[in-house]
Amino acid sequence: MRDVAVIGIGCTRFGEKWESSFRDIFVEAGTLALEDAQLSGEKIDAMYVGNMSAGRFIGQEHIGALIADYAGLATRHIPSTRVEAACASGGLAFRQAVIAVASGMEDIVIAAGVEKMTDVGSDESTDTLTGAADREWEGFMGATFPGLYAMIAQDYMHKYHMTREQLAQVAVKNHYNGARNPIAQFQSEITLDTVLKSTMVAEPLRLFDCSPVTDGAAAVIVAPLDRAREFTDTPIKVLATAQASDTIALHDRRDISTLDATVAAGQRAFKMAHLTHKDINMVEVHDCFSIAEICAIEDLGFCRKGTAGKFTADGETALGGKIPVNTSGGLKACGHPVGATGIKQVCEIVQQLRGTAGKRQVDGAKIGMTHNVGGTGATVAVHILGRV
């Protein structure tokens, strides 16, 4: 197996992009990544595209071919593959690209993610996202994703006595980071009161505990590490790629407030990279709801089970803290175009390791991690990247 490096990244601004089509935004992200790697489309050998549900959001299927076509790569007949794993689609697209290069099958590969979610009404977008849960046993019973994550939050708060104020600190911290990210959907800081007085969605989750509906695209380019300096002076090595699965329905889980797939994928990634938690300088986790970040940092092993609320409230996950979490603003503030999120996480870590993250830069960043979740934890992808 060959060592793999990220040689280029590109990301659109996230938000409600009424002026841009699905095709516009993925072309923009891909162009930015090619420019960053200083190479032309003729050098690309393959493409993997994370997309959850273009068929429901914009009425378009056959996404791999569509993107190859409008990216100007169809006449070269490169393989372009859509990857779907609900909200983990982007993370798995990146994993497939890394595997393709590591295996020697391909040399220069694009991993991208894209979602255009605002072209349908809120009812339809909520129903579409519910397809990432068990439609028969959860969706048909009226359980939406806010409802499912509210169950996780209720279970967690009952077991571990986390306060509502501690949970709200996740959103406060992530909006602080998002206010320093030029691509973020929300670029304003908020207060604890903002969260606690926002509209109730599903007890105990309020509006400011929930990630938004978002349009956006992101792309990264990977290549063999031994060729990486042909394209960039700052290649970022992929130290580990891991994936794990769990039951799709919450009622079949061993423990609904522990995502066992996160535990498994995290352990596999640390083993592959020959690293420990102390080696990680920052982590992008899947905070689709504030409780998801609480569970993630525990399940990945950055703090003991039941302590993440206090850990967050004490500032340990903030910029300058023990382990900065979601320096991009996370899904909560940066936005969550579901197919693109896993790729955006990689882009954020690459910027941090290059030292180009501006006002949200983690001092001395050398190694970072990403954590991307599909559904309520049925699919999890974890990656570790390091500065060469």
Q: Is 347 annotated in the active site?
A: no
- From the list 381, 376, 382, the residue with the least C-alpha distance to 131 is 376
DSSP state of 141: G
How crowded is residue 61: how many other Cβ atoms within 10 Å of its Cβ?
14
The catalytically annotated residue of 175, 286, 336, 383 is 336
How crowded is residue 241: how many other Cβ atoms within 10 Å of its Cβ?
26
Tell me how far the alpha carbon of residue 213 is from its chain's centroid. Answer: 14
C-alpha dihedral, 33 to 62 to 285 to 294, nearest 10°: 160
252 within 8 A of 130, measured Cβ to Cβ: no
- Residue at token pair 């992009």: 17
E-strand stretches of the chain? 4-11, 46-50, 80-83, 109-116, 200-202, 205-206, 215-224, 236-245, 282-284, 367-374, 379-387
Distance CA 270, CA 240 (A): 7
Q: Is 336 annotated in the active site?
A: yes
The catalytically annotated residue of 87, 210, 288, 303 is 87
Catalytic positions, please? 87, 336
